[in-house]
Structures are given as structure tokens and as C-alpha cells.
Amino acid sequence: MDHQLIERAAKDILQSKKTIAFTGAGISVESGIPDFRSAQGLWQKYDPEEYAHIHAFYANPDKVWLMLKDMFSLIISARPNPAHIGLAELERMGLLSSVITQNVDGLHQAAGSSKVIEFHGSHRTLTCLKCSNRVDGTTLTLDDLPARCPRCSSLLKPDVVFFGEPIPWDAQIASFEESQSCTAVLVIGTSAVVYPAASIPFTAKERGATVIEINTEPTPLTGQISDYLICGPAGKIIPAIVDEVKKMRGSEKS
């Protein structure tokens, strides 16, 4: 972990008028939820065209529910890791305005972040595509899956955004407002290859924001729009940045 870059990030956050975080599956890997495109990612096991496209769900919901049940089993047992907790602490310190996440695992909220924009929806509710009934998913156990509509018995679809589906309009508007008004964005644990989500750091950059990448490897943003990449696991880097911020703040006050 490059301590000079940790110090630089802490300074950038303290000097920034408005900082946001943009997170992907990598921030939850240390909570036991695999990401999608790394060597052990979910898409190595399930072809996203066959399991994560809305047309696949319409054609063969039972088959898609095999992947969904696998994903739910990981999410149900996952707890926030030090990266999620560190972002919630920055919010409490008044240094983080919001988290825009591509993740559907709810771990940012579980860690205490209060302004979380779920760009790809959430696993917490499910909807019946036949009668539009919406069901609370937080009370479901693995034995209840695949979940059926209590009203018409059709298979329910989790309110997560499948490929081929639109992004929830409220999430799009809120994300655009945050990314075009921030002065720094922490881009954490995302391969930045899925649009329109991946346009968020570009919107921030166009408005002059500092783009701070935290990832275990370079991405298409690195060397392009990122000011710098702090290479390593988010579960170590975020707490190190928070500790450095506290140290710098402490020395400011003394």
C-alpha cells in the first residue's frame, strides 16, 4: 500500500468541498461476495448472457433463479467490511456526501452510510412481472427461493437491474446531480466497463473533480481520467485513508 498516495487522498478529501464515492463489486469481495469479472468472479461460473439478461429471465426464470439463489446465499451471510465502515465514518465526519453503488447487497447501508444511491437496484425487494405485486425480500430465507408471488404464484424477479433493463430513473437523476456537483470522487472496486454506471466518474472529471481510484488492479480509467490509483484491497486502503484524515484533522486542531 503506497503511503504517499494514502496521504495524498486524505489531503484531497480534506480540501474537497464535496466528495462522493462510486463503488462496485470489488468493495464487497472482502465481505465474501465474489465480484463479477475477476478470475473467481460470478461471470466465470455463470454466462451473464444466459443468466443476467432480462430476456433470459423471461425465457427461463427457473434457470436464472439458480444463479440468483447462489448470489442471495452469499449476500444473506455477508457483513460490511472495513471499507464499507470507513466510508460510513467519512460521512459521519461530514467528509462524504453520498455513495453511488452498483452493488445490490445493501452493505453500505448496513455499515451506516445514510445517503446511498443504488444504481443497479437492490435485492431487498422483488416484483411479480405478471401482476406487478412487490414483495419484501428481507424476510425471505434460502428455503423460500426461488420466490413466488403470494398473489398469483408466478416467479418473482428481484428488483436488481438485469442487462437489457433501464436504470431506475430516481437513481439516474440523483447520481447525475451528485457526480456533476462533486469536487472529488472515490472510485472503489469497479472495473468501470458497464455503462451508464461507468459514465459517473467521467461526469465528475468533466466538472473538474479529482478522481481517486482504489482497486487491486488498473482499470480503463487508470491513466485516463483517474488522478491516481491506490493499488490494493479496499478493506485495507479505505481505513488507512480514514486514519490519515483523522491524524491530519487532529494536527489542524492542535
Residues that bind ligand APR (CB under 6 A): 24-26, 29-30, 35-38, 41, 48, 102, 120, 189-191, 194, 214-217, 219, 233-235
Closer of 191 and 226 to ligand APR (Cβ): 191
Q: How far is the CB of 232 from ligand APR (least distance, A)?
A: 7
Closer of 79 and 151 to ligand APR (Cβ): 79
> Among candidates 120, 128, 122, which has minimal Cα distance to 147?
128
Alpha carbon distance 107, 110 (integer Å):
5
Q: How far is the CB of 43 from ligand APR (least distance, A)?
A: 7
Q: Say which residues have a Cβ less than 8 Å from residue 138's Cβ, sequence separation at least 6.
A: 124
Q: How far is the CB of 217 from ligand APR (least distance, A)?
A: 4
Q: Say which residues have a Cβ less than 8 Å from residue 21's Cβ, sequence separation at least 6.
A: 87, 96, 98, 99, 100, 185, 186, 188
123's grid cell: 435485492
Alpha carbon distance 123, 103 (integer Å):
9
Closer of 135 and 221 to ligand APR (Cβ): 221
Closer of 149 and 238 to ligand APR (Cβ): 238
Query: Is the CB of residue 157 less than 8 Å from the CB of residue 127?
Result: yes
* DSSP bridge pairs for 229: 213
Active-site annotation holds for 123 = no
Alpha carbon distance 214, 217 (integer Å):
9
Q: How far is the CB of 194 from ligand APR (least distance, A)?
A: 4
Catalytic residues: 120
